Amino acid sequence: MKRQKLTIGTLSRETGVNIETIRYYEKIGLLAAPERTEGGHRVYDSDGLKQLIFIRRCRGLGFSIEEILSLSDLVTAGTYTCEEVQSKTEVHLSDVRTKIKSLRKMEHALATLVKECEGGKTQDCAIVDTLFELRV
């Protein structure tokens, strides 16, 4: 098990997170500041890699930076319980479900508009009519 040392470019390629974003995560305190070379270039080890993968995975699941910070604090402090983590995840899950519901409504409304519209060369358009109706 040799210690791997990664430049920011390599880390970026390995994780698919782009360089500016990595630096941004460091700046806002989400990703731990790594060691530096004499010249000031960042040098990451496997802990940095692990942390960034965690962040990327959480983002992929739609967690906000704020939520990730709180999960991450919990975990790195080593004080978390399974219960707490589960509860934060459930809260987020219900947010996601709310968003899905609202998008479904939009989808339905849009699909109805498209269906009602004749799609011809005229200006007699059900979509325009509906969007401009004066009823509030």
CB atoms under 10 Å from CB of 70, counted, come to 14
Residue 2: name its binding partner from its own copies, DNA, none (Cβ under 5 to 8 Å by kind).
none
Answer for the pair 34, 71: CB distance below 8 angstroms, yes or no. Answer: no
Which residues, 6+ apart, have CB-to-CB distance to 129 below 8 Å?
none
Q: How far is 44 from 19, CA to CA, in rounded Å?
A: 13
Residue 18: name its binding partner from its own copies, DNA, none (Cβ under 5 to 8 Å by kind).
DNA
Residue 24: name its binding partner from DNA, its own copies, none (Cβ under 5 to 8 Å by kind).
DNA
Q: Give the DSSP letter of residue 121.
A: S
- Nearest distance, CB of residue 7 and its own copies, angstroms: 17
Q: Taking contact as CB under 8 A, which single stretch among the options 1-9, 18-26, 35-43, 100-108 is the one that binds its own copies?
A: 100-108
- Determine which residue in the list 19, 43, 49, 65 makes contact with its own copies, applying CB under 8 A: 49
Answer for the pair 51, 31: CB distance below 8 angstroms, yes or no. Answer: yes
Q: Taking contact as CB under 8 A, which single stretch among the options 1-9, 23-31, 35-43, 116-124 is the one that binds its own copies?
A: 116-124
Answer for the pair 17, 28: CB distance below 8 angstroms, yes or no. Answer: no
Residue 31: name its binding partner from its own copies, DNA, none (Cβ under 5 to 8 Å by kind).
none
Kindly state the tokens that stand for 40.
């000031």
Q: Would you say 38 or 83 has its CB closer to its own copies? A: 83
Q: Would you say 65 or 74 has its CB closer to DNA? A: 65
Answer for the pair 37, 8: CB distance below 8 angstroms, yes or no. Answer: no
Q: Say whether residue 33 binds its own copies (CB under 8 A).
A: no
